[in-house]
Structure 1
């Protein structure tokens, strides 16, 4: 079974779980997919865990009775004995985020710019871009995704819709980075004013970005 097929099957099994068991499995997913375990092995382990959880659920048992109180502890031995991922994997991850964000940016500029040209005869603000915008979207997307991942990992394991302990130190670091990026962007905006960018060029860049995502990052 391929990775995509296992993910699809895992999602199907999650729909059959109680809210608590589903939340527990989702914590397992976060732990394993963020670890250095090979993606194929990751999905195999998660699928096995989901199947075991459903069997236990039918017998009236909860996930904690099967796997323990800590979702991470269950896979601890697997994670610790797995060799570190090559540096390229981490590099690809941090390149993929701004690549995706900029692809979406160029896509929006192309669509709105072309519509504006068709209706008013001019692309207006969607016919130009600045280095500040590119820097803000690229680096800002990494900060945003990292903050989302930190927030998701802090969610409570219980069924109650509340957030667990908030990591104020980590949040402060990301805010500080965001401030630095904004001020750097403002400085660069003075050195490098906006330049013209045709909606058609934006469209080409967006298509190239999508092809890059498919054949470079998502292969």
Structure 2
């Protein structure tokens, strides 16, 4: 089976998982795809893990009960510890989030700018962008995702709505950072240069970002 076909089958299997199991499995997926394991072997291992997870899920088990506390540890045993260090995997994860956020930003600028260009002859607000906005979107997406992951980790492992104890202090730090960024934006936006950007350039950047996500982080 080709890599693209295995990735497609993998996506089908992920849709059958509970939210908790899917989140855990996607951490496994990111860790393995960021490793030095051969792409074909990577997708084979992911399919085997997905099938094992669904089998256990059918028996009322969750991902931690099947694979253990840490998602990346399961594949280390199978591949003989060929995976890259956890720090690199985490860095790749953050880079992927920032890339996706900036791709979305430039997609909005491209679509809105082209529509205004077509209707009024000028791109208006979507024909210029502050460097500060680019930095905030790239970094803010990481903070937002960490907040979401903290919230998801507070849910019980069997996906019941009953919450369990979690690190409120850590979540408070993330919220505080997000609020600080918003207030800093009011004062710092004028201190950073604003550059002119054609909607066509935004479109090129959005397409390049989308291709980068596919080829680098979701390679086939």
Normalising TM by the smaller chain, what interval?
0.7 to 0.9
Alignment of 1:120-131 (within 5 A): 120-131=120-131
* Displacement of 1:53: 4.3
Partners in 2 of 1:128 and 1:37 — Cα distance? Answer: 37
Q: Is the 8 A contact 1:155 1:164 kept in 2?
A: yes
Runs of at least 5 residues in structure 1 that lack an aligned partner in the other structure: 15-21, 55-61, 65-69
Length, aligned pairs only: 197
For residue 109 of structure 1, report the CA deviation from its aligned partner.
Answer: 0.5
Shift of 1:104: 1.1
Name the residue aligned to 2:37.
none
Give the corresponding residue for 1:59: none
Q: Please identify the structure whose Cα radius of gyration is greater.
A: 1
| Cα distance, 1:210–1:8 mapped onto 2, change above 3 Å | closer
Deviations 1:118-166 (A, max 9, x none): 1112111111100121111111111111111222222234565454445
Task: Provide, for residues 165-187 of structure 1, a one-character-per-residue CA deviation record: whole Å limited to 9, x for no partner.
Answer: 45321211212332444455455
Q: Distance in 2 between matches of 1:124 and 1:214?
A: 31
CA drift of 1:71 comes to: 3.9
Instruction: Work out which of the residue numbers 79, 83, 102 in structure 1 matches 2:73.
Output: 79
Once superposed, what is the RMSD of the aligned Cα atoms? Answer: 3.0
- 8 Å CA contact 1:127, 1:199 repeated in 2: yes
Is the CA contact (8 Å cut-off) linking 1:154 and 1:165 kept in structure 2?
A: yes
SS at match of 1:85: coil
Q: Which residue of 2 aligns with 1:98?
A: 98
Structure 1 residue 96 displacement after superposition: 1.1
Give unpaired runs (5+ residues) of structure 2.
34-41
Partner of 2:113: 113
